[in-house]
């Protein structure tokens, strides 16, 4: 490819959650501006979930140190922090990885659906701030379609297990007679939605709280549960036996002091599941007698134990990805030739129209039917002459022959500087 597609990522595969959350980007708009200005990338898309922060970029040439330095500036980390945690891949490997993401093969929960929606949101956000362009827009659109097709044909996501349902399963495994217990859900975001769906599906009653009562009420109208006042909940943790915490607060919402106080008034234990990234439950809570605290790291362990049913489909999905990535790579290479092809067609079309008008004036032709026939004839002649060399240029680009495209650029006097990607 004349243009390189790169992927820089920090994920749960290499970094535990407490390390991963340090790389979280809080101001996405600023991050896009910084990456476009300082990292040497022409286009970029950021994918950020509880389990990964990934950057996809496009550039003719790139410097991994510049990317790390920009990322460090955005997050306030030292550049050394990236050495052991960040992975860099490019072109074929980057495209292969994106297809693994869209098909659910690289998720903590194998085949889970949530990542596909998150990727769609990521490319939409990048488009809105004009961080992505022709290359990454094309790449993500195709990868999303391919990933959806792979999921449907392989059944890799059948009977899907989301992070939310995993958390509920953990609660079921650790709490006897969960249906008789008081359950609280803090947060109304994506992960909270997954938890609520799972609780509702299993027939559990639960309270929901958020910063505003209105948000809690709206959430409960669609997802089930009973809205509870934020202030009442945080002064009355002793009323609950199981607490799911899934918020984006940049500090500890559930503190050691609050739970210590709550346990003074309880005769039985409490389980807290922190699904937030960054964490919003103080880890010291785990040292309080009668309290069991679990977070995304523990859920990852459970995922490993519960994926056997899907593992036999992995080989099938990998084979499909290996076939599709070659097609995707050819599509991306073809983009290198498209500005030239469009320019040639545009110039020839302008020439055809100009010469047609001259001929019609010389003929003094007024009959609309005859004019239409002559115009269609000129279009057919142009198409038959131009289509073969243009398709050959596209094929050369797909096959990774930039010298042919470069030669064609000279033959057609193509001025790259006048083209906007």
Looking at per-residue confidence, does 296 or 198 come out higher?
Answer: 198
Residue 187 known to bind ligand: yes
Evaluate if residue 90 carries a pLDDT over 80: yes
Question: Using an 8 Å Cβ cutoff, are 224 and 217 in contact?
Answer: no
Residue ranges covered by each domain of the chain: 4-159, 163-294, 335-412
Residue 3 known to bind ligand: no
> Which CATH class name applies to 163-294?
alpha beta
Question: Using an 8 Å Cβ cutoff, are 243 and 216 in contact?
Answer: no
Query: Would you tell me the crossing angle of helices 92-103 and 308-335 to the nearest 10 degrees?
Result: 140
Q: Enumerate the β-bridge partners of residue 245.
A: 186, 274
CATH code for the structural domain at 4-159: 3.30.460.30
Q: Where would I find the beta strands (DSSP E) of 91-248?
A: 183-186, 207-209, 226-227, 242-245
Evaluate if residue 58 carries a pLDDT over 70: yes
Question: Using an 8 Å Cβ cutoff, are 87 and 47 in contact?
Answer: no
Q: Which pLDDT value is given to residue 415? A: 67
Q: Which residue bears the tokens 């100009």?
A: 354
Q: CB-based burial of residue 412 (10 Å sphere; 0-12 exposed, 13-18 middle, 19+ buried)?
A: middle
Q: Which pLDDT value is given to residue 418? A: 44
Residue 114 known to bind ligand: yes
At 288, is the pLDDT very low, low, confident or very high (cuts 50, 70, 90)?
very high
pLDDT digits (tens, 9 = 90+) for 362-392: 998 888 999 999 999 999 998 888 888 888 8
Across the range 227-238, mean pLDDT stands at 93
Evaluate if residue 417 carries a pLDDT over 60: no
Q: Give every CB contact of residue 94 below 8 A, 6+ residues apart in sequence.
A: 5, 6, 7, 56
Structure tokens, 65? 């140190």
Across the range 92-103, mean pLDDT stands at 96
Can you tell me the distance from the alpha carbon of 144 to that of 148, in angstroms, rounded to the nearest whole number?
A: 6
Q: Quick one: how far is CA 300 from the chain centroid?
A: 19
Residue 76 known to bind ligand: no
Q: Which pLDDT value is given to residue 245? A: 95
Across the range 264-277, mean pLDDT stands at 91
Evaluate if residue 1 carries a pLDDT over 70: no
Q: Which pLDDT value is given to residue 113? A: 78
Q: Give every CB contact of residue 401 below 8 A, 6+ residues apart in sequence.
A: none
Tell me if residue 50 is catalytic: yes
Evaluate if residue 137 carries a pLDDT over 70: yes
Based on its alpha-carbon atoms, the radius of gyration of the chain, rounded to whole angstroms, reads 28
Residue 112 known to bind ligand: yes
**Exactly one of 8, 50, 196, 332 is catalytic; which is it?**
50
Q: Which residue bears the tokens 């195709």?
A: 142
Residue 44 known to bind ligand: no
Q: Which of 71-75, 236-240, 265-269, 321-325 comes out lowest in average pLDDT?
A: 265-269
Give the angle subtended at the CA of 288 by the CAs of 282 and 292, to the nearest 5°: 75
What stretch of H or E contains 377? helix 368-398
Evaluate if residue 159 carries a pLDDT over 70: no
Coil vs helix vs strand at 292: strand
Q: Which of 28-32, 225-229, 312-316 comes out lowest in average pLDDT?
A: 312-316
% helix, strand, coil for the chain, step of 5: 60, 10, 30
Residue 192 known to bind ligand: yes
pLDDT digits (tens, 9 = 90+) for 256-266: 999 999 999 88
């Amino acid at each position: 490819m004349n243009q390189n597609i790169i992927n820089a990522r920090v994920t749960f595969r290499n970094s535990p959650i407490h390390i991963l959350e340090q790389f979280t980007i809080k101001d996405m708009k600023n991050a896009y501006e910084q990456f476009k200005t300082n990292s040497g990338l022409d286009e970029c898309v950021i994918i950020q979930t509880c389990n990964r922060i990934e950057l996809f970029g496009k550039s003719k040439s790139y410097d991994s140190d510049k990317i790390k330095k920009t990322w460090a500036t955005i997050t306030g980390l030292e550049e050394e922090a990236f050495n052991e945690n960040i992975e860099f891949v490019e072109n074929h490997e980057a495209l292969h990885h994106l297809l693994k993401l869209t098909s659910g093969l690289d998720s903590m929960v194998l085949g889970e659906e949530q990542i596909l929606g998150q990727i769609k949101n990521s490319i939409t956000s990048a488009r809105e701030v004009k961080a992505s362009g022709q290359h990454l827009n094309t790449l993500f659109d195709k990868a999303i379609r391919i990933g959806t097709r792979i999921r449907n044909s392989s059944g890799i996501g059948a009977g899907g297990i989301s992070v939310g349902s995993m958390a509920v399963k953990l609660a079921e495994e650790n709490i006897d007679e969960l249906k008789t217990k008081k359950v609280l859900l803090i947060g109304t975001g994506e992960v909270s939605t997954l938890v609520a769906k799972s609780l509702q599906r299993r027939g559990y009653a639960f309270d929901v709280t958020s910063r505003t009562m209105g948000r809690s009420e709206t959430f409960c109208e669609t997802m089930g549960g009973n809205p509870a006042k934020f202030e009442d909940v945080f002064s009355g943790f002793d009323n609950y036996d199981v607490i799911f915490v899934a918020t984006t607060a940049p500090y500890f919402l559930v503190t050691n002091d609050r739970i210590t106080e709550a346990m003074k008034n309880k005769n039985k234990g409490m389980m807290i599941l922190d699904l937030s990234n960054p964490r919003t439950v103080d880890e010291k809570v785990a040292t309080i007698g009668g309290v069991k605290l679990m977070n995304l790291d523990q859920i990852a362990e459970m995922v490993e134990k519960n994926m056997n049913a899907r593992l036999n489909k992995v080989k099938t999905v990998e084979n499909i990805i290996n076939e599709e990535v070659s097609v995707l790579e050819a599509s991306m290479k073809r983009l290198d030739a498209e500005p030239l092809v469009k320019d040639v067609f545009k110039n020839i079309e302008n020439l055809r129209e100009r010469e047609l008008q001259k001929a019609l004036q010389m003929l003094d032709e007024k009959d609309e039917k005859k004019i239409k026939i002559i115009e269609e004839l000129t279009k057919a002649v142009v198409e038959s002459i131009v289509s073969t060399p243009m398709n050959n240029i596209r094929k050369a680009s797909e096959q990774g022959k930039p010298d042919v495209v470069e030669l064609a650029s000279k033959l057609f006097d193509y001025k790259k500087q006048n083209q906007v990607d």
